[in-house]
Amino acid sequence: TSEAIERYRNDAQNKQFARLPESGVQFVFTIGSVDSFREDLQAAETASGRSVPVIYKNEKNDWTSVLINLLPWVIIIGAWFFIMRSMARGGGAGGGGIMNVGKAKAQVFDKDNSKRVTFKDVAGLEEAKVEIMEIVDFLKKADKYKELGAKIPKGALLVGPPGTGKTLLAKAVAGEANVPFLSISGSDFVEMFVGVGASRVRDLFEQAKQKAPCIVFIDEIDAIGRARGKNAGFSGNDERENTLNQLLTEMDGFQTNTGVIVLAATNRADILDKALMRAGRFDRQIEVGLPDVKEREEIFNVHLRPLKLDPALDRSFLARQTPGFSGADIANVCNEAALIAARHNKKFISKEDFLAAIDRI
């Protein structure tokens, strides 16, 4: 009998305890199925002619059972908190959080900002400056236009290759007009949640109306302003179109006398929605092209100011050596030349360093 019981003890699983209360040899073990154990025990008793007393006792740890039941909920709640904290770090204006996910993440440059940019800080772009000065005049002397019944344009679109100074030019407009400047990228409206983009557009224009007169600048507007009706089967495309619709509604909604002018920049004007380009929204398109040789020299003069240069360096020579370079490219050339000179332990930056930087870029 002891051998049979030992075999049952080895085969059993899950169920808790069987005990023998009488004196003598006792066995305590776990069994898997009470019914199967009884059948096997009866067969063993019949074969041996002996009766084996058995007491079944089901012992459970209540705390363990509770914890096992709660574990899935703990995992779900923990995952939810992790997602919310991630959103709080990456989304929402001014500190973020799930409640601020629909707030516009615009950078605000107040008119009292000590780092105000003016047209003196923008080298080159003479033609673009002439066109955009009209917007400055609208903001500075709005009354003379209103007296004649003229409507101030609601927006202007800066079009040109990357790195040509579109953002800098928009900041200079706000600096010259001495008004607040709200800057946001088109990609900041794009979010994984439905309706967030449209909500951020509404919030952006609410902020602008509170700070009026002011300038709203949307960089890379093609992120939300692409022509509608393409790839209609994708939900992400639907959300982008909802954001664009809200932008069109807001630009129609505020009056020309509110003192809010919208500037936008793109290097892909050909893919923008026609409704965005019509009169009454972006009334003007200002071309911001690559600088010519004279403008490149002016840009070099700006970026060479903080550098220690060879007194014999010819700046017009550098301008002639960089055809097709944008303002951002020229800034990169100046920095790269300084790095090359420092790498060779030079006391100043020479023409050879600039030529090496131009070849590298």
Cβ atoms of residues 208 and 182 within 8 Å: yes
Residue 6 predicted with pLDDT over 70: no
* The pLDDT of residue 333: 92
Would you say residue 77 lies in a domain?
Answer: no
- What are the two backbone dihedrals, phi and then psi, of residue 65, each rounded to the nearest 5 degrees? -65, -40
**Residue range 274-288: average pLDDT?**
84
* The pLDDT of residue 339: 93
Q: Could you give the 3-state DSSP secondary structure of residue 60? A: coil
144 and 263 share one domain: yes
173 and 277 share one domain: yes
How far, in Å, CA of 319 to CA of 334, rounded? 12
133 and 262 share one domain: yes
Residue 356 predicted with pLDDT over 80: yes
Would you say residue 157 lies in a domain?
Answer: yes
Residue 63 predicted with pLDDT over 90: no
Would you say residue 73 lies in a domain?
Answer: no
Q: Could you give the 3-state DSSP secondary structure of residue 179? A: coil
Q: Using the 8-state DSSP alphabet, how is residue 194 labeled?
A: T
Q: pLDDT confidence of 88, banded at 50, 70, 90?
A: low
Name the more confident of 333 and 230: 333
242 and 222 share one domain: yes
Cβ atoms of residues 357 and 333 within 8 Å: yes
For the entire predicted model, the pTM comes to 0.65
Distances from the Cα of 268 to the Cα of 162, 263, 264, 265, 284, angstroms: 10, 15, 12, 9, 16
Would you say residue 261 lies in a domain?
Answer: yes
Distances from the Cα of 238 to the Cα of 101, 186, 235, 241, 242, angstroms: 19, 16, 5, 5, 6
**Residue range 282-291: average pLDDT?**
86
Least confident among 37-41, 82-86, 100-104, 154-158: 100-104
**Residue spans of beta strands (DSSP E) within the chain:** 17-19, 55-57, 107-109, 155-159, 181-185, 214-219, 260-266, 284-287
How far, in Å, CA of 252 to CA of 275, rounded? 11
Would you say residue 4 lies in a domain?
Answer: yes
* The pLDDT of residue 12: 46
163 and 211 share one domain: yes
204 and 278 share one domain: yes
271 and 242 share one domain: yes
In sequence order, what are the residues at sequence separation of 6 or more whose Cβ sits closer than 8 angstroms to the Cβ of residue 361?
329, 332, 333, 336
340 and 321 share one domain: yes
Q: Using the 8-state DSSP alphabet, how is residue 182 labeled?
A: E
265 and 146 share one domain: yes
Name the more confident of 334 and 235: 334
Q: Identify the helix (H) or strand (E) that includes residue 152.
A: none
Residue 257 predicted with pLDDT over 60: no
Mean pLDDT of the chain: 78
Q: Number of folded domains in the chain?
A: 3
- What are the two backbone dihedrals, phi and then psi, of residue 130, each rounded to the nearest 5 degrees? -60, -45
Cβ atoms of residues 215 and 186 within 8 Å: no
213 and 266 share one domain: yes
Name the more confident of 1 and 207: 207
Would you say residue 219 lies in a domain?
Answer: yes
Q: Which of 250, 271, 287 is the last residue in one of the domains?
A: 287
**CB burial of residue 66 (10 Å; 0-12, 13-18, 19+):** exposed
Q: pLDDT confidence of 332, banded at 50, 70, 90?
A: very high
204 and 125 share one domain: yes
* The pLDDT of residue 61: 58
Q: What is the CATH number of the domain that holds 269?
A: 3.40.50.300
* The pLDDT of residue 111: 61
Would you say residue 134 lies in a domain?
Answer: yes
How far, in Å, CA of 228 to CA of 67, rounded? 53
How far, in Å, CA of 359 to CA of 361, rounded? 6
In sequence order, what are the residues at sequence separation of 6 or more whose Cβ sits closer than 8 angstroms to the Cβ of residue 146?
257
Residue 7: give the domain boundaries. Answer: 1-48
* The pLDDT of residue 341: 92
How far, in Å, CA of 183 to CA of 129, rounded? 19
pLDDT tens digits, one per residue of 299-311: 998 888 888 888 8
146 and 24 share one domain: no
Residue 149 predicted with pLDDT over 90: no
Would you say residue 98 lies in a domain?
Answer: no
pLDDT tens digits, one per residue of 152-206: 778 889 998 888 888 888 888 878 778 888 888 888 887 766 777 888 888 888 8
